[in-house]
Amino acid sequence: MATPKGTQALPAHEGPQASRDPAPKDYDAPDNYQYRGNAFARPPVPNAKDDSIRQASTIEDESSAAATASCDHQLARPHTAEREARMTRRHSGSRPTDYDLPNAFANLDELAISPVENPGEERIYKHRSLEQARRQEHDYVQDERSAQSGRRGQHPTDVDAEKAGGNEGNTNRDAPSPVSRLATQFYSLSYLVFFAVFGTLARLGLQALTSYPGTPVSFSSIWPNFSGSLVMGFLAEDRMLFRDECGTPTYENLIQEAQIYREKNGSSEAPPHINLTAAKKAHLAAKKTIPLYIGLATGFCGSFTSFSAFIRDIFLALSNNMAANNDPRNGGYSFMALMGVVIITVSMSLGGLLVGAHLAIALEPVTPSIPYAFTRKVLDPVIAVLGWGCWIGAITMSAIPPDDSWRGKATFALVFAPLGCLARFYVSLYLNGRIASFPLGTFVVNIVGTLILGMSWDLAHVPLGGVVGCQVLQGVEDGFCGCLTTVSTWVAELSSLRRRNAYIYGASSVLVGLAAMVAVMGGLKWSDGFSALQCTH
């Protein structure tokens, strides 16, 4: 065919299709350049819009041909024969949750969201924020109330027929009778008192171990905050320790059953008779009712970490008062010192939360379950005696000490520690559920505790009250304020809130806390200055 006048014939390889191809690349890189680590670097935020369903991609996926395969096989968490046998041995009969807790206990944020929502690293997984968890928890409570109302209106013969249908046969006849609401609350408070004392001792001991000449980290709050956040991450992600306390079939058993079904049928969907979403809700709801878990997460981790000490260290860094002897410096260096404390503490605490969660996942095949009967029949009554007994013992040792220096170092802190822990517990119950996007209870206790610590610090660093007065104020700082405020719950909330709300909540907590500390401690620091303590601390 003749070429129209005014046009130029295209070469055979440059037809119309070639004109639509992208321009040739200017750089001709060797093929092995693709194996550079940064070539496969994924975006740090795989879910930029906080979507409910995420699609994750790893370096392994990008660098292997398996990335182009169907993701049906990726949906199932790999499991070994040993793991399956372990879960089978732990399988027990179905029984309802035995602890009767008020609905307000659901406002505790220590188990609102697991730190690692994709433990099996599946290609596609669901994301649930703290705001969604609040709404789902509310719906769950409403459904439970409706079910209870309907059951109360059920005729007795219908109940007998239901039992005859097989539900009664699934109940563990050897299990103790359900614990009343009054006894459950008493056990929960006993665990809180016991672990508040234990958490305070752990915090003071770790600070003493990490305070030495030449330490690379000059502020003492970093190690307890990191360690407490790590324990919190482990407890939040762990599904084995308290497995026997939850009604069965538990969430873990259902996951295993769904995995076996997927492998046998080559499907990515769970079997029709398994609702993993509802099972996870039931698992979390049951776990929150266990007094031992409440004591460990709210009592120990909350008392091990201290938000008020974190804000105090920010102020001391800002005011060039972190060490006993500091050379004068300008405002720029003071600002960098402030940012150093903030960045190191927040990043290490968030990192500790994730490390603890990853440890729970890695150690799941060897993590034992706390026996159901042991917790109910032995541990609960023993802790009820030990918790209140330890508190009474701390009060006695403070009143009649074998050595006066003990009061300034520990015993006064142990006297005030349970008061701070119980105050934080009840404030969280009644305020955390008010605003889903802003945990108001945690915010209030952190700010109030920071104010009290600032006032106690001022009074202790002026020549007022003598040695005993100074020791009491040190006890208020280390015990009451240390247990009233928490970093472990704070970072757990930061990691589970939607990104925008997390930054607002985190920045508000730090800025308001620092402003309160500047208002309280700044007046004394920049007027008369801090005097040396009159007591041994």
For residue range 346-391, list pLDDT tens digits in order. Answer: 999 999 999 999 999 899 889 888 887 788 889 999 999 999 999 9
Q: What tokens appear for 306 in the block? A: 């201290």
Q: Is the peptide bond before 249 cis (omega within 30 degrees of 0)?
A: yes
Euclidean distance between CA atoms 73 and 109, whole angstroms: 34
Phi and psi, residue 56, nearest 5° = -100, 150
For residue 227, pLDDT over 80 is answered with yes
β-pair partners for 124:
55
Total residues belonging to the chain: 537
Residue 234, pLDDT score: 92
Higher pLDDT, 5 or 349: 349
Predicted confidence at residue 279, as pLDDT, reads: 62
Q: Quote the pLDDT of residue 361.
A: 87
Alpha helices in 109-155 (DSSP H): 130-152
| Per-residue pLDDT at 524 | 82
CA angle 188, 191, 192 (to 5 degrees): 85
Query: CA-CA-CA-CA torsion for 114, 116, 117, 121, nearest 10 degrees?
Result: -160
Report the alpha-carbon distance of residue 410 to residue 315 in Å, rounded: 24
Residue with tokens 């006064």: 412
DSSP one-letter string for 31-57: GGGGGSGGGGPPPS-S-TT--SEEE--
High-pLDDT (> 90) share of the chain, %: 33
Domain residue extents for the chain: 103-141+176-525
Q: Are 515 and 335 in contact (CB under 8 A)?
A: no
pLDDT score recorded for residue 471: 87
Q: Report which of 310, 329, 309 is spatially closest to residue 319, judged by C-alpha positions.
A: 329
- Residue with more model confidence, 525 or 424: 424
| Per-residue pLDDT at 167 exceeds 50 | no
3-class DSSP state of 326: coil
Confidence class for position 502, pLDDT limits 50, 70, 90: very high
* pLDDT: which is higher, 301 or 112: 301
More confident residue, 305 or 108: 305
Tell me which range, 196-200, 254-258, 284-288, is most confidently predicted by mean pLDDT. Answer: 196-200
What is the structure's pLDDT at 410? Answer: 85
**How confident is the model over 510-527, as pLDDT tens digits?**
999 999 999 998 888 787
Q: What pLDDT shows up at residue 389?
A: 95
Count of C-beta atoms within a 10 Å radius of residue 97: 18
- The pLDDT score that the predictor gives to residue 10 is 44
Confidence of residue 195 (pLDDT cuts 50, 70, 90): very high
- Looking up tokens 């730090």 gives 510
For residues 141 and 103, the answer to whether their CB atoms sit within 8 Å is yes
Q: Which helix (H) or strand (E) holds 227?
A: helix 222-237
Nearest Cα neighbor of 96 from 323, 257, 249, 312 is: 249
The whole-angstrom distance between residue 113's C-alpha and the CA centroid of its chain comes to 8
pLDDT, residue 498, reads 87
Lowest mean pLDDT among 85-99, 167-181, 430-444: 85-99
Element (H, E) at 413: helix 412-431
Q: What single DSSP character describes residue 99? A: B
- HEC string for 486-504: CCHHHHHHHHHCCHHHHHH
- How confident is the model at residue 39, as a pLDDT? 40
- Lowest-pLDDT choice from 150-159, 270-279, 440-449: 150-159
Residue 287: its pLDDT value, please?
74
Tokens of 537: 């601390």
Residues in contact with 125: Cβ distance below 8 Å, sequence separation at least 6, in sequence order:
53, 54, 56, 117, 118
**181 confidence band (pLDDT: 50, 70, 90):** confident
91-145 pLDDT, tens digit each: 333 344 467 666 666 666 665 666 766 665 555 556 666 666 666 666 666 666 6
Bridge partners of residue 54, in order along the sequence: 125
| pTM (2 d.p.) | 0.75
Contact 432, 110 (CB under 8 A): no
Structure confidence by residue, pLDDT tens digits, 72-92: 333 333 344 334 433 433 333
62 vs 355: CA distance, rounded Å:
25
Cα 202 to Cα 194: distance, rounded to the nearest angstrom? 12
Strands (DSSP E) contained in 64-163 are 124-126
pLDDT at 171: 42
